[in-house]
Amino acid sequence: MRTITFSQATLEAMAEEMTRDEKIFVMGEDIARQGGIFGQFKGLAQQFPGRVLDTPISETFIAGGGVGAAMAGARPVIDMHYVDFIGVCMDEVLNQMAKARYMFGGQAKIPLVLRAPDGIINQAAAQHSQSLEAWLTHIPGLRVVTPSNPYDAKMVLKAAIHSDDPVIYLESKVLYKEKGEVPEIEDEKPYELGKAKVVRNGKDVTIVSYSIGMKNALGAADILAKDGIEAEVIDLISLSPWDKETVFNSVKKTHRLCIVHEAVKQSGFGAEIAATAAEEIIEYLDAPILRYGSPFCPIAFAPTLEKKVKIFPEDLVEGIKGMF
């Protein structure tokens, strides 16, 4: 099977879907002339003249224009440059994008994908390093997805583009250069929004994560295996909705739950998973639920301080061993 990068996988998804449907177009800052700041749109403007648009430096225009175009029958994919900038257009996201279909009694659809690079990358500092998924999953009317590898990056983006509801597509900046196996188009199977994957089977503890956090989850599982502890690892992929059934079925088998994400631990998405598990399947738990996330502070520019806020597989291993 061929191997391509996460960035190439998303570019391939865009090209295939734009070929399929002429109503799909892309707009954002520096994506036609530059190909996106991470190269995730490279060559797309030349392949689809007039359908890849550079906008003014105005997130409000990008989000508002995308909503208007979607309501008028187009299927826009808009780029937010960095997820940190979504605060500039939060009214359009919160009160228009997420609410229009409800406010019009289902007469209007919002088939829009908002792509937003997120997470910590070398010395991007406090305003370009955030993980804001929990904030976005708190908004009814939005679907939120965040793949962790090239194959899922392609399949989830295609599913998002097919959706008649607005989808926030979060993509870790670190993952753009990550390589993985992605089959040719004839071998692809559609991804269903809202479904998680069990990527490693185990019987002793369930580790749940998504996006870049999967590196910690799988890394911890490898270390634990050396000590005879079999971890079952689940990649959520979709955060809103999230696949409660897959997670709970695993916990009922392992009786232990550990959740890890790069986002700030306080009020992070892991808290939603932990609270729901405590409410609905606490009788299956043989140990307190573990949550791992960044400390409650901005991401520093200095490499030594930036490293302090990161989670590593060894952190999970230490806590998980204490569950037995």
Determine the residue type at 236. L
In contact, 155 and 69? CB cutoff 8 Å: no
| List of E strands, 6-94 | 24-28, 52-54, 75-79
Known active-site residue 133: no
* List 59, 133, 171, 232, catalytic entry: 59
Determine the residue type at 173. K
Which backbone phi and psi does 40 adopt, to 5 degrees? Answer: -75, -10
**How far is the C-alpha of 151 from the C-alpha of 64, rounded, in Å?**
30
In contact, 130 and 260? CB cutoff 8 Å: no
> DSSP per residue over 138-206, as a string?
TSTT-EEE---SHHHHHHHHHHHHH-SS-EEEEEEGGGGG-EEE---GGG--PPPTT--EEEE--SSEE
SS3 assignment, position 308: helix
Residue indicated by tokens 């520096």: 30
Could you give the count of Cα atoms lying within 13 Å of 117 in the half-sphere of its Cβ? 24
Known active-site residue 261: no
* List 128, 171, 232, 261, catalytic entry: 128
Determine the residue type at 229. I
Beta bridge partners of 79: 115
Residue indicated by tokens 């070929």: 19
In contact, 158 and 77? CB cutoff 8 Å: no
Active-site amino acid positions: 59, 128
